[in-house]
Structure 1
C-alpha cells in the first residue's frame, strides 16, 4: 500500500473507527452478537439439509491449492500464521504482537504490510470472499469483550476495504470470548485466544461461514 492509503488507514482507525463497515448479519459494529448455547470450535465441515459443500468439489480443492502458497508467502516473516481448514484459508493475527497495547483497537505499523499483501491477494480473486472474526480471552466482562472483538475485527477489515474489497465480498464480526481455541485458565492459552481470524474462501462458502452462530 502506498503512503496515502496507510495515512488513510490510521485516520480511519484512530478517528472514525471505520464505522461504515457492518457485521456479517447487518448489525452496526459494536452491537452485541447473538448468544448461542451450542458453539463449537470448527463446525464448517458439517452440512445443513439440502446444502452442498463447495470444498467437496474438485474446483473447491483446486481453489485452496492455488491460493494457499501465495497467502503464506504474503505473511512470511511476520507473526501472522496461516491455517488451511475444511473450506477456507485462515490468517491468524495474534493480538499481543499486532495491536497497540495502549489503543487495543489499533493495529501496529509492523503488521500493516503483511495484512495488506494478503488483502491484495484476496481483492484480486473475484471468486473469493473474506470474513474477519475478532476474538478475545475470557478476562473482563462480556460487554467489554464483545466490543473489543468487533473493534479489532474492524481494524483488520479496514485494510481489506482499503485494498478495494467491497461489501459484497467482505464481512466482519466479533464473538468476544465465546469461541476459545485454548485454555483460558493459563497465560499461554489466553494469549492464543486473543486473535483476529481472517477467513478467505470461495464466495459460495462465505454465507455459511458468516452465519451469526456458526463462526470459527
Structure 2
C-alpha cells in the first residue's frame, strides 16, 4: 500500500514539473502539452492517490486506486478542455496583440498593460480598453462557472503607498467595466499589489512598462 501511494505521489511530482516551469520573474512557461491532457493526467494521479488511500480490499488490491484514477482523469480532462476552449475564444475575439491570455491549467490569466487601459497616473479606462473589457465580459458570460479576480500592478516609481492606492483603484475601474458589461458582481473581487510583483526589471523603461498592468484571473468553480 505505502509503495503504491509513494509511486503515485512521485508521478504527480513528475507531471507537475513537466507541466510548467518558471522564468526568473516567476512567469510560468508551458510544456507543450494541452491543458486537457494536463488536467486528465493530474486528475488521474490525484484520483489514484485518493483511491489507493481508501483501498482496504485485500482480495483485490489496487481496484479502488484504478477507479479513482479513471474518475479523476475524466473530471480533470473535462475541466482542462473547457479552459482550452475559453482561452481560444478569448484570443480570437480580442483584437489587441498587447493583451496576453495564458492558460495555467487550473485558471486563465488575462494581462492588460497600462498602455491598453490607462493614461499615465490615471484610473480612467480609455475607449480601446473599454472595448477590450466589454469583449472579455461577453466571454465571461459565455463561461459563467468561474470567479474573477482583478489585480492591479504598478512599477516601482513613486512611493509604495501611492503605488498601492493606484493599483487598487485601477483594478476597481476594470472590474466596474466588467460589471457594466454584464458580469455579476458576485463573481468579481479586486485587489492591488502595487510594485510588489514585478514581471520584469524596474531598472529599464521597457521593464517598468511591463510591470504597469492589470491582471484578470478566471478561476473555474467546477
TM superposition score normalised by structure 1: 0.65
Contact 2:84–2:103, Cα closer than 8 Å, also in 1: no
CA deviation map 1:134-168 (0-9, x unaligned): 00001111110000001111111111111222232
CA pair 111-179 structure 1, distance change in 2 beyond 3 A? same
- Show the counterpart of 2:82: 63
| Residue of structure 2 equivalent to 1:96 | 115
1:84 equivalenced with 2:103 (yes/no):
yes
Which of 123, 126, 141 matches 2:141? 123
Counterparts of 1:119 and 1:78, CA distance in 2: 18
Query: Cα RMSD (Å) of the superposition?
Result: 2.3
Larger radius of gyration: 2
Q: Would the aligned equivalents of 2:138 and 2:181 in 1 still touch at CA under 8 Å?
A: yes
Count of residues paired in the alignment:
155
Structure 1 residue aligned with 2:125: 107
Structure 1 gaps, min length 5? 1-39, 43-52, 205-216
The structure 1 segments of at least 4 consecutive aligned residues displaced by more than 3 Å after TM superposition are 53-57
- Distance in 1, Cα, partners of 2:153 & 2:196: 8
Give the whole-Å Cα distance in 1 for the aligned partners of 2:193 and 2:183: 22
The structure showing larger relative contact order (alpha-carbon pairs under 8 Å, at least 6 residues apart) is 1
| Residue of 116, 126, 146 corresponding to 2:164 | 146
Kindly indicate whether residue 147 of structure 2 is the aligned counterpart of residue 132 of structure 1.
Answer: no
Equivalent-residue separation in structure 1 for 2:83 and 2:91 (angstroms): 12
Task: Please report how far the alpha carbon of residue 186 of structure 1 lies from its aligned counterpart in structure 2 after TM superposition.
Answer: 1.0
The aligned runs of 1:5-44 (5 Å cut-off) are none
